[in-house]
Chains A and B, each alone.
Chain A
Amino acid sequence: MSQDTANAKTTIEAAGRISRSALPSRLFAITKHGFSILLTFVGLTAITFIIGRVMPADPVLAIVGDRASNEVYEAMRLQLGLDKPLIQQYLIYLSNILQGDFGTSIMTTRPVLDDIIRFFPATLELATIATIFGVFLGIPMGVLAAVNQGRLIDHVIRIIGLFGYSVPIFWLGMVALLIFYAGLGWLPGPGRIAVYYDGIVEARSGIILLDSALQGEWEIFWNALHHLVLPASMLATFALAYIARMTRSFMLDQLNQEYILTARVKGLSEGAVIWRHAFRNVLVQLITIIGLTYASLLEGSVLTETIFAWPGIGQYITTSLFNADMNAVIGGTVVVGICFVGVNVLSDILYRIVDPRSHD
């Protein structure tokens, strides 16, 4: 959380620095940026390589499982190239990843990448809806807190934010299920969709909301939406807390600037000062924050997916883990890591495009 805060601030500062420099140095900065992304990718794969291939006592056993025959074992040993030097093994591993080859899952007997493509849309759907919740609730809360700094409402929002940071999400999910599903019966239980709707909608994108809407199955669309409410709200508690805190902080920075004083002296209404003047500047800064939140929700959904039996990437990784399916675990970890880095890079680029100060 505050790690991300610090990251976001440095990213923003970095963007500001670049915008003020001349074009050649900007090109240099872009090259440098691309280089650092590349390095991060190499580091990321190196770490997963160490976890998957170097740390286990017997990586072959970790991949094929202890019930495999000797032929399978030997074949896998050769396939992994365990007779070669470590650095060469890593290069093979890297080139396999670049070709989308993460090996085969022993649990599903399919290539890991196919599995990930099948499971990922569910996580994407969940994280997207949660981020939308977080943005539409968190931003107004942050603005409200900043405008009323030090008053009761500010403290209440601060406590709500701290709650979002502090609550174990899997526990909150269980309590919410107990209240809204078992107790009140307002919302459906775990799963993405009611059992009797299973398989009716053809999975094109894998995102049920999108697929059902495109195929005109509105009944299924509503059912899926109902199933999304609880897990997305759970994930959104963290997003909301983080976005609200950062909005408040950015907003306070803006409200203390002189142009705000000027606007007030001109006789503008308080609403115009806050929303048309201060908030516009905040919105640009929030792009990075929303990106960070989205990336962390893609990752943070692991526990939520377990509670809500949500067939996403998090559940794929944890079930593979219990089946000692190392290829699947490492493959999933790499993909989530790439998404995490990718979303952050994307929001950084978006920030530079949107911020008028970087166009001079």
Chain B
Amino acid sequence: MTDQPTETGLKEWLLSDTPQSVAQARCQRLYLAWLSFSANPIAMLGLAIIVVLVGMAAAAPVLTGGDGTEQALANRLQPPSVAHWFGTDELGRDIYDRIVWGARITLYIVGLVAIIVVPIGLLVGTVAGYVGGWVDIILMRVTDIFLAFPRLILALAFVAVLGPGLENAVLAIALTTWSPFARISRAETLTIRNAEHILAARVQGASTARIIVHHVTPLCLSSVIVRLTLDMAGIILVAAGLGFLGLGAQPPLPEWGAMISTGRQYMLDQWWVATIPGLAILIVSMGFNLLGDGLRDVLDPRSGGTS
């Protein structure tokens, strides 16, 4: 009962037509975006999947009995049961444990790739778009070359030289992922570079660097975030593919793609060893795709629903 008044008060504060402060206006925008986002059941399903993934990764020590690498050879290749929900693999390791710990690796990969590619893409795109001229031509040519290159093959070649391993896989994926972000931020920058608030900042004597960082970049962010969410699925699939080929995370790390690879030889008789990690990859990348679709409808109304 005591919660009731504050809740309506909060709602009024969030929906009032005359926000009293910048903070309130920001909260209102977020709240309205959330309202339209949460009205979309498909997007909410995506969000739920990602929340579960993050929760699993965070609570891995609580959810499992070990760290997913303890071997119990007496228990090898057990079918799913009450003791081992998803069965055990060829070294007797509990597959449920490995899936839960694998969530950390998946998040580590997509997180690290995002941290690398978003700043690079934003920097290249906003500088090219805002400065223009030769800088634009050169930067965009380089971007186009990376865009034109087939992604998995390029990542394969990079890993071939750098050597297999989780960090190298991340680096290879990042090198093949940044270019669309540069394209998107450039396109956004071109539409706003002559906007009045940018001109106002310039007239006030703000430096080019300051305008790019404080005035242009924030306006590129929403498109970049949508793109990033949709790209997450692709990143997960490439990482899993590299893991499957033995070029990503190395044993005994419970990387899902590598787990499918080892399960492959037991596919005919012990289907669960390879099938369960594959389902995990499918569900998570589906989650990112659903979330990205929903975010696009909310953050990027121009393309809302039609593409």
Contact = CB atoms under 8 A, between A and B. Distances in A.
Interface of A: 1-3, 5-7, 36, 39-40, 43-44, 47-48, 51-52, 55-56, 62, 155, 158, 162-163, 165-172, 174-175, 177-178, 182, 245-246, 249, 252-253, 295-296, 298-300, 302-303, 306, 317-318, 321-322, 326, 329-330, 332-333, 336-337, 340-341, 344
Contacts of A56: 161
A298 B230 CA distance: 22
B97 to A, nearest CB: 20
Contacts of B22: none
A171 B267 CA distance: 11
Interface stretch (B77-85, B148-156, B205-213): B148-156
A6 B180 contact: yes
Contacts of A326: 160-161
A253 B234 contact: no
A296 B150 contact: yes
B148 A344 contact: yes
A47 B282 CA distance: 32
Interface of B: 42, 141-142, 144-154, 156-158, 160-162, 180, 183-184, 227, 230-231, 233-234, 237, 240-241, 244-247, 257, 260, 264, 267-268, 271, 274-275, 277-278, 281-282, 285-286, 288-290, 293, 306-307
A318 B156 contact: yes
A326 B184 CA distance: 34
Contacts of A344: 148
Given A1-B234, A174-B260, A245-B307, A52 B152 contact: no
Given A55-B162, A182-B268, A249-B307, A47 B145 contact: yes
A299 B286 contact: no
A132 B303 CA distance: 29
Contacts of B275: 171, 175
A336 B227 CA distance: 26
B306 A163 contact: no
B145 A333 contact: no
A296 B246 CA distance: 22
B306 A253 contact: yes
Given A48-B157, A51-B158, A337-B153, A170 B147 contact: no
Closest 3 CB pairs of A and B: A43-B145, A171-B278, A299-B150
29 contacts: A3-B180, A43-B145, A162-B286, A162-B289, A162-B293, A166-B282, A166-B288, A166-B289, A167-B285, A168-B244, A168-B260, A170-B244, A170-B260, A171-B277, A171-B281, A175-B278, A178-B267, A252-B306, A296-B150, A302-B241, A322-B246, A329-B156, A329-B157, A329-B160, A330-B157, A333-B156, A336-B153, A337-B150, A340-B149
Between A167, A182, A295, the greatest number of chain B beta carbons within 10 A of the residue's beta carbon is seen for A167
A175 B240 CA distance: 16
A169 B234 CA distance: 12
A56 B306 CA distance: 46
Contacts of B293: 162
B260 A2 contact: no
Given A48-B157, A166-B285, A329-B160, A171 B274 contact: yes
B161 A55 contact: yes
B267 A321 contact: no
B241 A3 contact: no
B234 A39 contact: no
Contact of B161 (A51, A182, A252): A51
A329 B227 CA distance: 31
Contact of A165 (B142, B180, B233, B245): B233
Given A6-B180, A302-B156, A44 B290 contact: no
Nearest to A332: B153
B267 A167 contact: no
A174 B267 contact: yes
Contacts of B288: 166
Nearest to B144: A40
Between B148, B152, B274, B282, the greatest number of chain A beta carbons within 10 A of the residue's beta carbon is seen for B148
Contacts of B230: 1-2
B142 A43 contact: yes
Contacts of A303: 152, 241, 244-245
Contacts of A168: 237, 240-241, 244, 257, 260, 278, 281-282, 285
Contacts of A317: 153, 156
A248 to B, nearest CB: 8
B288 to A, nearest CB: 8
Nearest to B281: A168
Given A168-B282, A171-B282, A40 B245 contact: no
A302 B152 contact: yes
B142 A321 contact: no
B128 to A, nearest CB: 15
A252 B306 CA distance: 7
Nearest to B288: A166
Contacts of B257: 168
B256 to A, nearest CB: 8
A175 B282 CA distance: 13
Between A7, A249, A329, A333, the greatest number of chain B beta carbons within 10 A of the residue's beta carbon is seen for A333
Nearest to A295: B150
